[in-house]
Amino acid sequence: MSIALPTLVERLLRPLWLFLFAGLLLTTISRAGLVLWQIDRFDGTAGVLKVFGFGLRIDLVMLCYWMIPALLMLLILPLRVRAMCAAVWLALGFTLLAFMEAVTPGFIAQYDLRPNRLFVEYLQYPQEVFGMLLGGFLLETLCGLAVLVLAPWLSLRALTRAAPASAVASTWWLRVLVLVLLLPLLVLGARGTLRHRPINPGFTAFSSDALLNDLTLNSLYSVAYAVRAMRNEVDASRLYPPLPDAVVFAEVRRAMGLPDAQFLSSEYPTWHLQTPSATAPRLHNLVIVLEESLGAQYVGTLGGDNLTPAFDALAAQGWLLEELYATGTRSVRGIEAVVTGFVPTPARSVVKLPRSQQGFLTLASLLRERGYDTSFIYGGEGHFDNMASFFLGNGFERVVDRRHYANPEFMGSWGVSDGDLLRKAHEEFSRLHATGEPFFSLVFSSSNHTPYDYPLNAITPVEQPPNTKRNAIRYADHALGEFFALARASDYWDDTLFLVVADHDDRVFGRQLVPVEHFRIPGLLIGKDIPVQRDARVLSQLDLPPTLLSLLGIAAEHPMVGRDITQLPPAYEGRAIMQYGDNQAYWRGDQVVVLQPDKAPQTFRFQREGFTFGQPIANTALEREALAHALWGSLAYRRGLYPPTVERSR
395-443: pLDDT as tens digits: 999 999 998 999 999 999 889 999 999 999 999 999 999 999 999 999 9
Backbone dihedral angles phi then psi of residue 515, each to the nearest 5 degrees: -75, 85
Identify whether residues 186 and 96 lie together within a single domain: yes
Q: Is pLDDT above 70 for 4?
A: no
603, β-bridge pairs: 593, 617
As for how many domains the chain has, the answer is 2
DSSP tag of 336: I
Query: Of 231, 264, 293, which residue sits at a domain end?
Result: 231
Instruction: Look at 96-100, 116-120, 289-293, 502-506 and tell me which has the smallest mean pLDDT.
Output: 116-120
Which tens digits make up the pLDDT trace of 527-568?
998 999 999 999 999 999 999 999 999 999 999 999 999 999
> What angle, rounded to 10 degrees, do the helices at 79-111 and 138-161 form?
160
What is residue 359's three-state secondary structure?
Answer: coil
> Which of 35-49, 155-169, 183-197, 635-649 is modeled with the greatest confidence?
35-49
CA-to-CA distance for 556 and 574, rounded, in angstroms?
24
As a whole number of angstroms, the distance between CA 578 and CA 597 comes to: 15
Mean pLDDT of 265-276: 95
The answer to whether position 644 is within a domain reads no
For residues 603 and 599, give the distance between their C-alpha atoms in angstroms, rounded to a whole number.
Answer: 12
Residues 6+ apart with CB under 8 A from 568: 537
Are residues 157 and 203 part of one domain? yes
Residues 6 or more apart from 291 whose CB is under 8 A from it? Answer: 445, 448, 476, 480, 500, 501, 502, 503, 522
User: Residue 236 falls within a domain, yes or no?
Assistant: no
Look at residue 241 and tell me if it is in a domain: no
Angstrom CA distances, 361 to 87, 290, 394, 542, 646, stand at 52, 19, 7, 14, 11
Q: What is the DSSP letter of 399?
A: E
Please count the other Cβ atoms lying within 10 Å of the Cβ belonging to residue 25. 10
For residues 56, 60, 66, 71, the Cα torsion angle rounded to the nearest 10 degrees is 150
Q: Are residues 225 and 286 in the same domain?
A: no
What band does 166 get if pLDDT is binned at 50, 70 and 90? very low
What gap in Å lies between CA 295 and CA 503, rounded to an integer?
9
Q: Which residues contact 344 (CB under 8 A, 6 or more apart)?
A: 327, 328, 333, 336, 337, 577, 578, 579, 584, 633
* 108, 376, 377, 411 from 408: Cα distances, Å: 34, 18, 14, 7
Of the pLDDT bands very low, low, confident and very high (cuts 50, 70, 90), residue 233 is: low
> CA 122 to CA 337: how far, in whole Å?
21
Query: Left, alpha or beta for 388 (phi > 0: left; psi -120 to 50: alpha)?
Result: alpha
184 in the same domain as 80:
yes
Determine which helix (DSSP H) or strand (DSSP E) holds 290, and give its type and residue range: strand 285-291
CA distance 218 to 509: 19
DSSP 518: G
* 583 within 8 A of 630, measured Cβ to Cβ: no
**Does any domain span residue 561?**
yes
Residue pLDDT, tens place only, 131-142: 666 666 777 778
Q: What is the pLDDT of residues 564-609, one digit of tens each?
A: 999 999 999 999 999 998 899 999 999 999 999 989 999 999 999 9
HEC sequence for 565-624: HHHCCCCCCCEEEEEECCEEEEEECCEEEEECCCCCCEEEEEECCCCEEEEEECCHHHHH
Among 220-229, 266-275, 418-427, 623-632, which is the least confidently predicted range? 220-229
- Decide: 261 and 154 in contact? Cβ < 8 Å: no
Whether the Cβ atoms of residue 398 and residue 464 lie closer than 8 Å to each other = no
Q: pLDDT digits over 469-516, tens only?
A: 999 999 999 999 999 999 999 999 999 999 999 999 988 888 889 999
Tell me the average pLDDT of the chain.
Answer: 90
Task: Give yes or no for a contact between 413 and 453, defined as CB atoms under 8 angstroms apart.
Answer: yes
Task: Say whether both 277 and 221 belong to one domain.
Answer: no
Residue 558 lies in a domain: yes
> Looking at residues 312-325, what average pLDDT do you find?
98
Domain boundary among 231, 264, 296: 231
pLDDT of 475: 98
Residue 109 lies in a domain: yes
Q: What is the dihedral of CA 607, 613, 615, 620, to 10 degrees?
A: 80
**Is 650 within a domain?**
no
End of a domain among 181, 197, 231?
231
| 263 in the same domain as 184 | no
The range of the structural domain enclosing residue 185 comes to 5-231
Would you state the pLDDT for residue 5?
55
Mean pLDDT of 271-282: 81
pLDDT value, residue 545: 99
Pair 443, 314 in one domain: yes
Same domain, 163 and 116: yes
Q: Which of 122-131, 168-177, 207-216, 251-260 has the highest mean pLDDT?
A: 251-260
Q: What is the pLDDT of residue 376?
A: 97
Residue 199 and residue 259 in one domain: no
Residue 486 belongs to domain with CATH number: 3.40.720.10
Nearest to 255 by CA among 563, 589, 542: 563
**286 and 151 co-located in one domain:** no
On whether both 504 and 363 belong to a single domain, the answer is yes
164 confidence band (pLDDT: 50, 70, 90) = low
> Residue 488 to residues 37, 263, 491: CA-CA distances in angstroms?
49, 39, 8
Q: Is 648 within a domain?
A: no
Q: Are 208 and 267 found together in one domain? A: no
**Minimal CA–CA distance to 512: which of 216, 111, 212, 293?**
212
